């Protein structure tokens, strides 16, 4: 199984079960709701029979699962108002793109409320959102935008890649007294992995090293981390693969320590390239570890344009494990190939 890859510091204890990423989310939410009556879920279609792609099916406390009208902006304010009144809401969105409808509340209210009042208030609010892709979903149902959200002070941005991480980080997010944006890639939902049944938390702001190697540091999150791992395994590459797990706060120490060893950096980021997460990682590494770099760092992102619909175009638009592997191989061999050539 590709998921038996946890950092030794955060390995699941022996005897745990294999469950899906989706089931791990469901278990975390259910356990959080059972543990703490202040936890409730709210969102468009949160209470329908589909249970948010199964991630909220058959919860123990359905009375604390509230469906809402298509009013993402006000509902974010409602969740914030409830959080300020002592509750611990989990606001869920079926598509990440819908968060943009609530951007006033997310950027001006949720993110700013603690700074505006010098942290006299707690804002224990989790905003869950699912990243889509494929089957012609197109430009408004396929965006990730984690770089955009990470740019706003006051938001933590978490995007786990494995069932073990998603359970532990979901519980950490619900436990946190500040707002956490929790991004789940839909393509990870059926992946399985080793997950303890008991409740546990994982630290927000701590990266996981998915593979040890000495020739190239690769930083990749969420689905990109899984694709990069697959590429390493397919091509048997000597890669140090880091999954930050949280975009913000970012575990820069782990990344820098790796770059000091390998002298090479590739960021694989399934988001738009301009002023994004990949840019931030490259800039931070150039500022702090320039002397260690043996060649220019590279970014592999989406093209700087909206997602297409036709399957033929989609397959050209999105990076794949094969393309990631080819770029990694080129970098290790020392060739300075332009990452853009893989997507244009």
Partner 1 sequence: MDRKATLKREDGLWMLRRMRLIRQTSERIARLYPTNVMETPVHLCIGQEAVSVGLCRHLRDADKMFLGHRTHGPALAKGLPLPKLMAELYGRTTGCSHAFGGSMHLIDLEHGLPGSSAIIGGSIALGCGAALAAQLGKNDYVGVSYFGDAATNAGVFYESMNFAALRKLPVLFLCEDNGYSNVMPKSAHSAHDIVSVARQFMTTLQADGTDVLSVYEHTGEAVAQLRRGEGPVFLHCATKRWMKHQGHEACDIVDNGIDRERDCPIRKLEAFLLKSRLITPAELAQIEQAVEAEIDAAIQFAESSPFPDPSLLEVS
Q: Under the rule (CB under 8 A), what is the footprint of partner 1?
A: 37-38, 40, 64, 66, 68-69, 71, 73-87, 104-105, 108-109, 113, 115-118, 120-121
Which of 89/325 has CB closer to partner 1? Answer: 89
Which of 84/284 has CB closer to partner 1? Answer: 84
Please, are residues 220 and 228 in contact by the beta-carbon 8 Å criterion? yes
Output the smallest distance, CB 106 to partner 1, in A. 11
Output the smallest distance, CB 150 to partner 1, in A. 14
164 phi, psi to nearest 5 deg: -65, -45
Q: Specify whether 141 is catalytic.
A: yes
Output the smallest distance, CB 38 to partner 1, in A. 7
Which of 69/334 has CB closer to partner 1? Answer: 69
Chain center to CA of 41 = 20
Q: Which of 61, 93, 119, 141 is catalytic?
A: 141
Which of 95/112 has CB closer to partner 1? Answer: 112
Which of 2/37 has CB closer to partner 1? Answer: 37
- CA pair distance 77, 74, nearest whole angstrom: 5
Which of 74/313 has CB closer to partner 1? Answer: 74
Please, are residues 159 and 252 in contact by the beta-carbon 8 Å criterion? no
Output the smallest distance, CB 16 to partner 1, in A. 33
Which of 104/197 has CB closer to partner 1? Answer: 104
Please, are residues 106 and 76 in contact by the beta-carbon 8 Å criterion? yes
Please, are residues 154 and 117 in contact by the beta-carbon 8 Å criterion? no
Output the smallest distance, CB 74 to partner 1, in A. 3
- CA pair distance 46, 67, nearest whole angstrom: 5
Output the smallest distance, CB 97 to partner 1, in A. 18
Output the smallest distance, CB 321 to partner 1, in A. 37
Residues belonging to the active site: 141
């Amino acid at each position: 199984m590709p998921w038996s890859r946890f950092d030794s510091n955060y390995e699941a204890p022996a005897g745990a079960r294999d469950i899906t990423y989706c089931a791990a989310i469901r278990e975390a939410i259910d356990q959080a709701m059972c543990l703490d009556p202040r936890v409730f879920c709210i969102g468009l279609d949160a209470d329908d029979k589909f249970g948010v792609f199964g991630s909220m099916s058959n919860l123990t406390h359905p009375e604390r699962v509230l469906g809402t009208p298509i009013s993402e902006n006000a509902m974010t304010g409602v969740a914030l108002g409830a959080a300020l009144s002592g509750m611990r809401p989990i606001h869920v969105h079926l598509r990440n793109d819908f968060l943009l409808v609530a951007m006033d509340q997310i950027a001006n209210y949720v993110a700013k409320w603690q700074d505006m009042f010098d942290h006299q208030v707690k804002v224990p609010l989790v905003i869950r959102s699912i990243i889509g892709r494929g089957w012609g979903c197109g430009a408004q149902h396929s965006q990730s935008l984690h770089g955009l959200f990470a740019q706003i002070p006051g938001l933590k941005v978490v995007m786990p890649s494995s069932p073990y991480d998603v359970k532990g980080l979901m519980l950490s997010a619900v436990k946190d007294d500040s707002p956490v944006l929790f991004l789940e890639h839909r393509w990870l939902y059926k992946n399985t992995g080793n997950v303890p049944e008991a409740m546990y938390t994982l630290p927000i702001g701590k990266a996981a090293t998915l593979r040890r190697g000495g020739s190239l540091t690769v930083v990749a999150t969420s689905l990109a981390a899984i694709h990069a791992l697959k590429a390493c395994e397919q091509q048997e590459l000597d890669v140090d693969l880091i999954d930050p797990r949280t975009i913000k706060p970012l575990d820069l120490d782990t990344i820098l320590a790796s770059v000091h060893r390998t002298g090479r950096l590739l960021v694989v980021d399934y988001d738009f390239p301009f002023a994004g997460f990949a840019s931030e990682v490259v800039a931070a590494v150039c500022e702090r570890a320039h002397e260690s770099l043996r060649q220019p760092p590279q970014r592999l992102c989406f093209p700087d344009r909206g997602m297409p619909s036709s399957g033929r175009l989609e397959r050209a638009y999105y990076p794949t494990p094969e393309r990631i592997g080819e770029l990694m191989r080129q970098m290790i061999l020392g060739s300075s190939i332009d990452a853009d050539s893989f997507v244009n």
